[in-house]
Amino acid sequence: MLANLKAKIDSKTARVSVVGLGYVGLPLALDLAKAGFSVTGFDVSEDRVAQINRAKSYIGDVSDSDLKTVVTTQKKFQATTDFSKLSQMDTVSICVPTPLGKTRDPDISYVLAVRDRIREHIHPQMLVILESTTYPGTTEEIFVPIVEETNLILGQNFFLAFSPERIDPGNQKFNLRNTPKVVGGMTPACTEMVVSLYQTIVNQVVPVTSARVAEMVKILENTYRAVNIGLVNEVAIMCKILGINTWEVIDAAATKPFGFTPFYPGPGLGGHCIPVDPHYLSWKLKSLNYTARFIDLAAEVNTGMPHHVVSIIADTLNAARKSVNGSNIILLGMAYKADVSDIRESPALDIYKLLEEKGAKVIFNDPFAQELQMNEKTIRSTELSPKVLADQDLVVITTFHSSYDMKGIVESAKAVVDTRNATKGIKSPKIVRL
């Protein structure tokens, strides 16, 4: 059985599938199809499935032309909402969301829903790979029981592994191909099988000894960033109190050629990983009677940054003898990072809400996120012009998109609060930096 499935993968005759066609799943499915596999993408969204089958991309990192090649020309990729077709698949890569609930507890309902679908269509010579970020032990706890319900044996005729996604939307340097991919199976044979599959699309596959180790790798990567961003955000607050330029301090420290990696402050954490993933580890450890102190402290600092930004806004307006209540304020950028449309967990959303609650007249501009649902209403991006900027009491840079003309914006604005260091090279008394 092991040799049989591996032979299918090596010859690219294996029927490959990806469940969840979002920022992670769609690029993965595309690259597997480009490698020569016949790929089926599964998603609960009929709209997403229809767009893919029309070779229309809804994700910035995937072009229509690339989709057209594998969907229309080569006919190597199709999408469906019919999960019964899992019974025909040799491999299943699971890339569904793992958000946090309102109490900051892990929400693995999407993974459980896929587990239940696989249970209905499980069969011999099947490889299942979980890519969704979660707490260490998830792969074993959720998927091993459905294997044990059958006569299948892990590592012999059924293969199970975890391989954390490392997709960075909008990154022009690193993509799926040139980013090393960590894989960890439930048995050595499971690891061997997933290595065989992913080495066809990734330059370097990094096997580890278990799925649990692979799960912890992903949590460590994002906890490292969350904790260091929390540290530098607190440094920014301290520098504000001390009257020191935060950016000058960081730039000078970064000249040290060893022992220091620069991180930069901002209005908070955003995206589907860094604000979320460390809480999975914290939650798991609480169930084992241990407190993840660094994670909790970093989360406290990072989630408080929107309030810190609003405090700076209030001070800036106050210096001009204006109150937040009634002031016209425009936020530049609602996405969580530059040059993407992803607004998940974006701190700009919190800043918008906080300013509205204080009575400000808030608008926003974002060339990538043109429409948002905010406070149960739809709000749309306001087109930038010198007049629009001149009509505002304050411009707040919440996300710095490359299309912004910072010099023109500063020249048109009465005052600018810069949370992203976008005006670093522009000297103006109107600019207040984080």
Q: What Å distances lie between residue 362 and 322, 326, 329, 350, 395, CA to CA?
A: 15, 10, 5, 12, 10
Residues whose CB falls within 8 Å of the CB of residue 70, separated by 6 or more in sequence, listed in order: 30, 33, 34, 39, 76, 77
Q: What angle do CA 363, 366, 371 make, to 5 degrees?
A: 75
Look up residue 110 and give its amino acid.
Y
Residue 66: CB partners within 8 Å, gap ≥ 6? 30, 34, 57
Catalytic residue check, 273: yes
Q: Are strands 377-380 and 371-374 parallel, antiparallel or unpaired?
A: antiparallel
Helix boundaries (H) for 170-276:
188-198, 211-242, 246-253
Specify which residues 329 forms β-bridges with. Answer: 362, 394
- Which helix (H) or strand (E) segment holds residue 302: the answer is helix 293-303
The 3-state DSSP class for residue 354 equals: helix
The encoded tokens of residue 322 equal: 């204006």
Q: Which residues pair with 93 in a beta bridge?
A: 18, 129
Neighbouring residues of 410: CB distance < 8 A, sequence distance ≥ 6: 416, 423, 426, 428, 430, 431
Strand partners, 217: none
Q: What is the CA radius of gyration of the chain?
A: 24
Catalytic residue among 95, 190, 239, 273: 273
Nearest CA to 26 out of 46, 44, 48, 54 is that of: 48
Active site residues: 273
